[in-house]
């Protein structure tokens, strides 16, 4: 399957039953690859739309998502700039060492 996909109502209700607040489409694969490569990894979640369960909101349009995506890109750039500025010069985290235990 290529590209983003909207949740079905059944999937959306399942995520809600798990008390999930944010649905990420690629986090698992990225986290596994980063761990394998001993790269520090963090998710920056930027909301683009409500999932289909939210009855108080109309159906999501591509235009709404693209508008929110553009706003999120500006915000994400600011967050990344601040995060990089705060990074230590030397890594002492567990990410830098291969370990089979969490």
Contacts (Cβ under 8 Å, ≥6 apart) of 97: 38
| Cα separation, 79 vs 29, whole angstroms | 23
Q: Which of 15, 6, 98 is nearest to 52 (CA)?
A: 6
- Digitized pLDDT (tens) for each residue of the chain, 102 residues in all: 565 677 788 888 898 899 987 777 677 888 889 888 888 888 888 888 777 777 787 777 888 889 999 999 999 999 999 999 998 888 788 776 665 555
| Cα separation, 53 vs 84, whole angstroms | 36
List, by residue number, the catalytic residues: 49, 51
């Amino acid at each position: 399957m290529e590209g983003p996909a909207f949740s079905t109502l059944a999937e959306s209700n399942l995520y809600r039953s798990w008390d999930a607040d944010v649905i990420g489409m690629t986090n698992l694969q990225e986290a596994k690859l980063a761990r394998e490569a001993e790269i520090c990894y963090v998710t920056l979640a930027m909301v683009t739309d409500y999932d289909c369960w939210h009855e108080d909101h109309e159906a999501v349009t591509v235009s709404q998502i693209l508008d929110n995506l553009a706003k999120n890109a500006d915000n994400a750039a600011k967050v990344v700039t601040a995060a990089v500025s705060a990074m230590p010069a030397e890594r002492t985290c567990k990410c830098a060492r291969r370990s089979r235990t969490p």
